[in-house]
């Protein structure tokens, strides 16, 4: 019998573990190894250089830029997406007329949910290519076209979107435009998530609050939001990962994949730039290891600050 | 938000009727006054409708632009009504733009990779969740660690590994469908195992024991008892994987570059990037929109048909 179990377990695990080791674990381990060499990627020549690549990280102007751009997305993507998603979920669930049964959701909330969720099923590539056309820097683009049509934008001086490195509030404009896409595509998904969480809050809690004379806003800020804390913090962690992964947008939409003039450079694009354009695989691996460490620290940090006792109801 | 903060309580403007008696009918009214509530209701609808338009309008614009002539795209970019619907834009991109074969490639790869991901993922998750053996935790955490590490870290060695393998085994080298299937499976395993692991844990022991008493072998127990019981979980993770792999672009961009003379085995995401990047002086605008439409519509249709399952499937992934 015991022998049968061992054979069964091995048989079931062999293929998945084998594939995973070869295509996922082994490359990760190799990357850590390459990061200690000066390997260029195309030749077989590689020399052990110790921690040189890592020391170089601290003096690299591009890395410094990329780091702050990542931090920008890490703060703004979750912040704006969650704020908008919460607001939409709030309107959807308590924006309706009220009757004896209390506050209702708005009429047609099901339809709104279906529509808001659309961007979630579109691929990043579809979103990027579509927004490339929306953001065109001439009258052929959707936004410039509309604004020129109503006379808000001069035809000779269109909004340049992806070609605008000028800082706005200290951050290159191109990053703000990328942020808008991230919020546009993420808000619907988190709205559905929050909406489901709001509906799982028992009605009698609201009834009690209403009997005590609490208004819509009070019930939202004093009851709904605190009870949603768990869901919101999970959303924050997930959006953090998404914020680190803005590469598809940068790669497809910005000039020379991180431009103009490196104004939209992020970690991933710097790795790509060093590995495939400058042919410095060893250094690119060192950046990637640094990014991995950064990601893990961030995840641990977020899990730590968002952990607290669960409320059961 | 600033409009919102003024709505509750006493927002009935001058000249409006005073709020009705709060105690009538025994239930207190919420939101201060009837007029305030009505205003709030109107505001909610307005804001929700504006956001709905912001989501839908670009999509409709893309689809309608796909039906224009190139000169219409350039001269009347905003109009949503082409003079004559140019269906042959789709035909042109399908054949000349290679979107057709990229589409078929994607379906081909996904058929294999989804089947294998689900099969291997639930096998591994089942064994890890319900059998105690030395190394169990180690393997589980190995899968889990793949969830936090960024894919860019593995990119360079993965490319080199696949390239080296292709020297001796061309069917597992770059630009091969089988290779892409295996890579998709491997990279989808982490989340699939993680998700199904928690699912198999919740299945009752009694049924498994009854099966064992009846003389079912371990693998028979898995395939005919446990796997059918895990169906809701399989649907969720299946939807998650289908969308994730259909939308995958980084792995194919890395591994599916065809050298001149090789067959074009690329997937649809790459076709779109190709269409959008080659913006030469004689650019095929309507073709680009047609390509985006063709990549977008199948997923949207599937979503509309299965929207309840898709929404719960994707949000369940976050909730765990």
Model confidence at B240, pLDDT cuts 50, 70, 90, reads: confident
Residue A174 lies in a domain: yes
d(CA A304, CA A297): 10
pLDDT, tens only, B13-45: 333 344 444 333 334 444 456 677 777 778 888
| pLDDT of the residue at B9 | 35
Provide the percentage of residues in chain A whose pLDDT is more than 90.
19
The string of pLDDT tens digits covering residues B185-205 is: 999 999 999 989 988 988 888
Question: Does the structure show a pLDDT above 90 at A83?
Answer: yes
> Does the beta-carbon distance from B250 to A247 stay under 8 Å?
yes
Whether residue A14 is contained in a domain is answered as no
Mean per-residue pLDDT, A238-243: 84
A102 band by pLDDT with thresholds 50, 70 and 90: low
Report yes or no: A194 at the B interface, CB cutoff 8 Å.
no
Query: What CATH number does residue A249 fall under?
Result: 1.10.3720.10
Q: How many CB pairs under 8 A join A and B?
A: 291
Tens of pLDDT, residue by residue over B252-262, are: 988 988 777 77
B265 falls in which pLDDT band (50, 70, 90)?
confident
Tell if the CB–CB gap between A184 and B54 is shorter than 8 Å.
yes
Closest CA to B65 of B290, B272, B277: B290
Q: Reply yes or no on whether the pLDDT at B76 is more than 50.
A: yes
Whole-angstrom CA distances from A228 to A90, A153, A196, A201, B281 are: 12, 42, 10, 9, 53
Rounded Cα distance between B281 and B70, Å, is: 13
Task: Provide the mean pLDDT of chain B.
Answer: 81
Q: Which residues pair with B241 in a beta bridge?
A: none
The pLDDT score that the predictor gives to residue A96 is 64
Q: Per-residue pLDDT tens for B96-116?
A: 878 888 989 999 999 999 999
Rounded to whole angstroms, the Cα distance separating A60 from A19 reads 36
Strands (E), A40-156: 98-99, 102-103
Distance from CA of A51 to the nearest CA of B (A): 17
Question: What mean pLDDT comes out for the span A111-119?
Answer: 89
Nearest by Cα to B268 from B242, B296, B300: B296
Is A26 among the domain residues? no
> A6 to chain B, minimum CA–CA distance in Å?
8
CB A242 within 8 A of CB A68: no
**B311/A113 CB distance under 8 A:** yes
pLDDT at B27: 40
Least confident of A115-119, A163-167, B166-170, B177-181: A163-167
What is the average per-residue pLDDT within A25-39? 89
* Residue contact B77–A281, C-beta within 8 A: no
**pLDDT > 70: what percent of chain B?**
86
Provide the ipTM.
0.83
Residue of B nearest to A16 (CA): B120
Distance from CA of B192 to the nearest CA of A (A): 11
Give residue B225's pLDDT: 87
> How far lies B265's CA from each of A129, A236, B179, B187, B271, in Å?
21, 38, 11, 20, 10
Amino acid A3: pLDDT? 63
Question: Are A234 and B319 a contacting pair at CB < 8 A?
Answer: yes
Q: In this predicted model, which residue has the larger pLDDT, B11 or B287?
A: B287
For tokens 């955490």, the residue is: B141
Mutate to test the interface with B, among A15, A23, A138 (most CBs of B within 10 A): A23
Q: Are A40 and A281 in contact (CB under 8 A)?
A: yes
- Return the pLDDT at A53: 87
CB contact A63 to B (< 8 Å): no
Q: How many CB atoms lie within 10 A of CB A213?
A: 10
Across the interface, do B37 and A5 touch by the CB < 8 Å criterion?
no
Average pLDDT, chain A: 84
Phi and psi angles of residue A37, each rounded to the nearest 5 degrees, phi first: -125, 175
CA dihedral B137, B138, B139, B145 (to 10 degrees): 100
The pLDDT of residue B24:
38
In a domain, A28, yes or no: no
Number of domains forming the structure of chain A: 1
Return the CATH class of domain B98-278.
mainly alpha
Q: Which of B8, B156, B300 sits opposite A118 (nearest CB)?
A: B300
Tell me which chain A residues have a C-beta less than 8 angstroms from the C-beta of B121.
16
- What is the C-alpha separation between A51 and A283, in angstroms, rounded? 10
What's the domain range around A265? 35-306
Asked whether residue A218 is domain-assigned, the answer is yes
Three-state secondary structure call for residue A301: helix
pLDDT bucket at A100, cuts 50 / 70 / 90: low
Kindly report the nearest CA distance between residue B183 and chain A, in angstroms: 6
- With cut-offs at 50, 70 and 90, classify the pLDDT of residue A307: low
Per the model's pLDDT, the better-predicted residue between A24 and B3 turns out to be: A24
Task: Check CB contact of A145 with chain B, cutoff 8 Å.
Answer: yes
pLDDT (tens digit, 9 = 90+) per residue, A179-217?
A: 999 999 999 999 988 988 888 888 788 778 878 877 777
Domain boundaries along the sequence of chain B: 98-278
pLDDT at B281 over 70: no
The pLDDT score that the predictor gives to residue B107 is: 93
Tell me the chain A residues in contact with residue B48 when contact means C-beta distances shorter than 8 Å: 88, 91-92, 95, 106, 112
Q: What was the pLDDT predicted at B25? A: 38
A106-115, B80-89, B161-170: which is most confident? B161-170
Chain B residues near residue A245 by CB distance under 8 angstroms: 150
Q: Would the CB atoms of B218 and A5 count as touching at under 8 Å?
A: yes
Q: Do A91 and B300 touch (CB under 8 A)?
A: no
pTM of the model: 0.83
Q: Is the pLDDT of residue B263 over 90?
A: no
Rounded to whole angstroms, what are the CA distances from B111 to B105, B108, B184? 10, 5, 11
Contacts of B311 in chain A (CB under 8 A): 113, 117, 192
For chain B, the residue count is 320
pLDDT at B124 over 90: yes
Mean pLDDT of A47-56: 86
Judge whether A267 is closer than 8 Å to chain B, CB to CB: yes
The pLDDT value given to residue B114? 96
Name which of B19, B149, B213 to mutate to probe chain A: the one with the most chain A Cβ atoms within 10 A of its Cβ.
B149
Point out the residue among B51, B218, B249 whose CB comes nearest to the CB of A8. B218
Q: Would you call A100 and B5 a contact, using CB atoms and an 8 Å cutoff?
A: no
Nearest residue on chain B to A88, alpha-carbon basis:
B48
Tell me if A28 and B154 make a contact (CB, 8 A cut-off): yes
pLDDT at B139 over 60: yes
A2 found inside a domain? no
Q: Do the Cβ atoms of B133 and A12 come within 8 Å?
A: no
């Amino acid at each position: 019998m015991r022998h049968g179990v061992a054979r069964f377990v091995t048989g079931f695990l062999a293929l998945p573990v084998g594939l995973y080791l070869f295509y996922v674990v082994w490359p990760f381990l190799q990357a850590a190894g390459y990061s200690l060499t000066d390997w260029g990627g195309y030749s077989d020549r590689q020399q052990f250089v110790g921690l040189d690549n890592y020391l170089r990280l601290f003096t690299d102007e591009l890395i410094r830029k990329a780091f702050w751009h990542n931090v920008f997305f890490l703060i703004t993507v979750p912040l704006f997406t969650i704020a908008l998603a919460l607001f939409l979920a709030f309107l959807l669930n308590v924006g309706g007329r009220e009757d004896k049964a209390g506050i209702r959701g708005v009429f047609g909330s099901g339809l709104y949910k279906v529509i808001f969720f659309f961007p979630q099923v579109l691929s990043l590539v579809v979103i990027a290519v579509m927004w490339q056309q929306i953001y065109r820097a001439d009258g052929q683009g959707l936004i410039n076209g509309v604004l020129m049509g109503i006379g808000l934008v001069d035809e000779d001086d269109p909004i340049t979107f992806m070609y605008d490195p000028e800082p706005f509030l200290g951050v290159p404009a191109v990053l703000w435009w990328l942020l808008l896409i991230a919020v546009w595509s993420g808000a619907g998904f988190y709205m559905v998530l929050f909406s489901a969480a709001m509906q799982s809050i028992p009605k009698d809690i609201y009834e009690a609050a209403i009997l005590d004379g609490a208004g819509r806003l009070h019930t939202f800020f004093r009851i709904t939001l605190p009870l949603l804390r768990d869901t919101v913090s999970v959303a924050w962690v997930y959006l953090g990962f998404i914020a680190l992964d803005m590469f598809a947008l940068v790669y497809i939409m910005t000039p020379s994949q991180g431009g103009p003039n490196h104004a939209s450079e992020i970690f991933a694009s710097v790795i790509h730039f060093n590995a495939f354009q400058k042919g410095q695989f060893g250094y690119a691996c060192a950046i990637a290891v640094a990014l991995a460490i950064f990601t893990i620290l961030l995840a641990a940090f977020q899990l730590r600050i968002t952990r607290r006792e669960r409320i059961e109801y | 938000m600033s409009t919102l903060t003024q709505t509750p309580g006493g927002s009935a403007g001058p000249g409006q009727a005073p709020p009705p008696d709060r105690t009538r009918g025994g239930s207190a009214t919420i939101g201060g006054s009837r007029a305030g509530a009505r205003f709030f209701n109107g505001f909610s609808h307005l804001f929700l409708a504006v956001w709905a338009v912001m989501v839908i309008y670009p999509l409709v614009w893309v689809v309608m632009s796909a039906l224009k002539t190139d000169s219409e795209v350039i001269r009347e970019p905003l109009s949503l009504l082409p003079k004559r619907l140019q269906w042959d834009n789709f035909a042109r991109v399908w054949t000349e733009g290679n979107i057709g074969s990229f589409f078929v490639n994607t379906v081909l790869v996904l058929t294999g990779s989804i089947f294998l991901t689900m099969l291997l993922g639930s096998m591994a998750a089942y064994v890890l969740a319900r059998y105690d053996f030395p190394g169990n935790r180690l393997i589980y955490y190995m899968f889990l660690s793949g969830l936090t590490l960024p894919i860019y870290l593995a990119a360079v060695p993965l490319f080199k590994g696949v390239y080296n393998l292709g020297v001796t085994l061309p069917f597992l080298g770059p630009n091969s469908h089988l290779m892409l299937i295996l890579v998709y499976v491997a990279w989808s395993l982490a989340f699939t195992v993680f998700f199904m692991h928690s699912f198999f844990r919740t299945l009752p022991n009694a049924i498994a024991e009854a099966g064992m008493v009846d003389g079912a072998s371990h693998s028979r127990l898995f395939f005919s008892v446990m796997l059918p019981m895990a169906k809701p979980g399989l649907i969720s993770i299946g939807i998650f994987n289908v969308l994730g792999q259909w939308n995958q672009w980084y792995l194919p961009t890395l591994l599916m570059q065809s050298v001149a003379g090789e067959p074009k085995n690329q997937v649809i995401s790459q076709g779109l990037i190709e269409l959008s990047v080659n913006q030469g002086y004689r650019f095929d605008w309507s073709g680009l929109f047609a390509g985006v439409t063709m990549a977008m519509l199948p997923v949207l249709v599937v979503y509309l048909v299965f929207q309840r399952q898709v929404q719960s499937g994707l949000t369940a992934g976050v909730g765990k």
